[in-house]
Chain A
Amino acid sequence: MRKYVNMFLLPAVVAVSSCGLDNYDAPESKILGRVVYNGEPVGVRGTGEAVQLQLYQDGYELRNPIPVYVGQDGTFEAKLFDGEYKLVTRDNNGPWVNDRDTTVINVRGTANVDVEVTPFYTLSNVQLSLNGNNANASFQINEVAGGLDIDYVMILVGKTSFVDDVSYAIRVDIDDVTAGSTITESIDLTNNNDFKSGRALFARVGLRPAGKDQAIYSQVVRLR
């Protein structure tokens, strides 16, 4: 009888012990970061994986980057294992001067990082408000790196807090604007269904440098 018990015990021991070795715990460490210019986060398009950074880690055979998606307020976040990582912007991606210098990040628990970029233009003194049936926008265009024309500026109103050149309810584009000028525009919302429904509305303004794949945006403001 004893023999039989032993016979059953052996596979049982094998079954219990064999699985442990090849499993890792999920990564717990974090990079929390912002894409900044002069200490201010840069607003971008946050939908459609439009603006990405790339994380590399040396010491492995393959060198595929880990994509890091930048949110519309210019922040990003990645969950990783502890270790040394290299962070770069994606080639030609984003409304800033293409600069692919590496930022080395040591991740031990949580690492905070600011990625400095040089935008072609910035938007300042942004005022967005709702006045009766009109959405009013006013903002100033500042040249930073310059060198590229301004394709257009846009005023965007959306019905969710995600607002950009793809996700919007109302979009007004203004061409032929110059750096240094202040743009003031009023949009009549009388006939807009999203306005008439009485639900929440959000807005932001954006500027597209000619020849760049992305526009730079102000932060999203809730109109009502």
Chain B
Amino acid sequence: MKKSSIFKVLLLAGGLSCFSSCSEFLEREPDEILTDDQVFSDAIMIESVLANFYGRVTWGQHIGDWFQYTILDEAGKSDGGPDNIQNYGNAQWRVYDYTLIRNINQFLQSLRATTVITDTEKQVYEGEVRFLRAWTYFNMARGLGGMPIVGDEVFDYQGGMDITTLQYPRSTEAGIYDYVIQECDAVSTMLNDEKTINSARANKWAALMLKARAAIYAGSLANYNNKMNSPIRTAGAEVGIPADRAEGYYEQALAAAQDVINNSPYRLQLNKPDDLQRNFYEALSVKDNNTEVIWARDYRYPGQTVNFTTMNIPGSHAEDIDRAAAGPILNLVEAFEYVEDRDGAIKIRDNQGNYVFYDNPLDAFANKDARLGGSVILPNALFKGTPVPLQAGQKVWSNGNWQTVTGQPGELDGLGRLITSSNGPNRSNEQFINKTGFFFRKFLDEAAGASTRGRNSEMWFPRFRFAEAVLIAAEAAMELGDQPVAVGYINQVRGRAGIQPLTAVTLDDIIQERRVEFAFEDHRYWDLKRFRRAHIVWNGVVNSPTAQHYALFPYLVVAPGTPNDGKYVFDKLTFSNSLHPRFFELRNYYNFIDLGWQNANPKIVLNPFQ
């Protein structure tokens, strides 16, 4: 009996604790999920939601993903084996982010209702998120063409609702560019016109730059698509802008670009007129006192850093295990003109086919466009004050022939002369050895510790900068037939690079100038698409000068007793890590529509070639 009463007490105690103890645990407020009311009753919370949006709008080619630089004709992959790219995917750099657009619209709805910040602050926030929304639409449009425009609506689905009211058809291609342009016009009056810290947030000038870029894209699509043998169109004009719209878009682009050029606090940065290479590097890759960059993806230690420098730094300057993941290819290097010669080919052989000998490998690049040295580390060029050696091997003169001798990276010959530099280049599958003959300079951070895994770099990635306004103005003026204006603008950019002025501007000049000015800045792919040149440049033909990747290998001359002993020569080789020429097919001009999207919304029509 006693035993059983103790048992009852225990049971009762256990039963009670079960009911009482848990209740507080279950009623805690979650600290990771915040309600709308909680966020929009706190000014700092509102700002952090905005910061989240800024972190979600990086697409296409950017320094957060170095591999993307190797798929066009700017750089080649050096980390291990070849890339095997034979063609471009149907979803290449495709953007379809209605989650972000919905989140922005939710933000707008609550922002307009909140009372914790002033109306002036609200207006700026509204301008910023609407700018980011326009930027998102723009990124969708350049890959996919016209897509559904949902305005400020936040859709709410409840069971039993007629779902077809939530299904919007695709807009026309012209319609989506018009929408971006209108939104930019609207928000440019809401935003501040001062420069922002590290150009990390959008201001009025970023909005005008997006307007100018959207207008020039739409103008060139209207123009050049209709000049193709069979223009790429859909029946409902979701793809394909009528040719008669081109002039209007060019006028809009010119006006917006000129507004930035004449009225903004930015200018073509020219802080070091005596050292134009350094000047160009600093205009792109140094944040202090920068007058060039209008809007950028900024990075800041701790928390927000980028590993581009860690992955791509030359081995001779590396601070950690990683190095030399990719390097620029000869195709890009030769695209840079000489000061007095528009043909940028490196002189490696004379007219008789004999080697040209250079005392210093860097001499082969003398008198080049200053932007080359500011964008690419050339053999023996300085980085952080010390030279970056690049030597593939030795050319030994024996019995009237040149013999090529290569060794392990860092190996010396019997006389103590370097055979192959520890940086490379070589033609192997080894990791951490350069394979192209060049390293990146643009966006390579000089700060101590910037190439370590633990820290990484604070380098920014500019999305809009002043030179783009100038080149958009030049292009628009050229298309509108105003040669004097076009020549004036393009020569400003060429002047900063230290190369000869032009007397007339053609489309080829614009393509050429944009290629070298904006290398690694996510322009090349979209430019060749909108000019409808991509399928001509990347034609998939083996050994084509434009579609095949090439490397340039420097060699030390070993010819004892001759005047050329100790000099350097170069070999142009196909780049060993891109096995196939780049091949852009007509279907690649527009991304394919995912069939899942069409299943969810049958009003979405498919793109051409799909």
Contacts and interface: CB of A to CB of B under 8 A. Distances in A.
B606 A91 contact: yes
Nearest to B583: A166
B586 A48 contact: no
Interface residues of A, number: 19
A148 B229 contact: yes
A168 B86 CA distance: 13
A93 B580 CA distance: 23
Contacts of A213: 585-587, 609
B540 A166 contact: yes
A90 interface: yes
A48 B229 contact: no
A91 B610 contact: yes
Given A48-B87, A93-B609, A165 B585 contact: no
Interface in B584-610: 585-587, 595, 598-599, 602, 606, 608-610
Interface string A164-182: 0110100101000000000
B609 A64 contact: no
Given A48-B86, A48-B87, A211-B229, A171 B541 contact: yes
Given A148-B230, A211-B228, A91 B540 contact: no
B584 to A, nearest CB: 11
Interface of B: prevailing SS: loop
A62 interface: yes
A210 interface: yes
B542 interface: yes
A149 B229 CA distance: 8
B230 A211 contact: yes
A166 B86 CA distance: 8
A62 B610 contact: no
A30 interface: no
A156 B195 CA distance: 58
B229 A92 contact: no
Interface residues of B, number: 21
Given A48-B86, A93-B609, A166-B86, A62 B586 contact: no
A91 B609 CA distance: 5
B266 to A, nearest CB: 42
A165 B609 contact: no
B86 A210 contact: no
Nearest to A98: B230
Nearest to A49: B87
Given A148-B229, A165-B540, A166-B583, A92 B595 contact: no
A64 B599 contact: yes
A203 to B, nearest CB: 16
A63 B599 CA distance: 7
Interface of A: prevailing SS: loop
A93 B606 CA distance: 14
A64 B86 contact: no
Interface in A90-143: 90-93
B144 to A, nearest CB: 15
B89 to A, nearest CB: 11
A212 interface: yes
Interface string A63-77: 110000000000000
Nearest to A148: B229
Contacts of A212: 230, 586
Nearest to B607: A91
Contacts of B587: 93, 213
Contacts of A165: 540
Nearest to A93: B609
B298 to A, nearest CB: 40
A90 B599 contact: no
Contacts of B228: 211
Contacts of A171: 541-542
Contacts of B586: 92, 212-213
A90 B229 contact: no
Q: Which 7 A-B pairs have the closest CB atoms?
A: A211-B229, A211-B230, A213-B586, A210-B229, A64-B595, A62-B599, A92-B609
26 contacts: A62-B599, A63-B599, A63-B602, A64-B595, A64-B598, A64-B599, A90-B609, A90-B610, A91-B609, A91-B610, A92-B230, A92-B586, A93-B587, A93-B609, A148-B230, A165-B540, A168-B542, A210-B229, A211-B228, A211-B229, A211-B230, A212-B586, A213-B585, A213-B586, A213-B587, A213-B609
Interface of B: 86-87, 228-230, 540-542, 580, 583, 585-587, 595, 598-599, 602, 606, 608-610
Given A62-B599, A212-B230, 16 more contacts: A48-B86, A63-B598, A63-B599, A64-B595, A90-B610, A91-B606, A92-B230, A92-B586, A92-B608, A166-B87, A168-B542, A171-B541, A210-B229, A212-B586, A213-B585, A213-B609
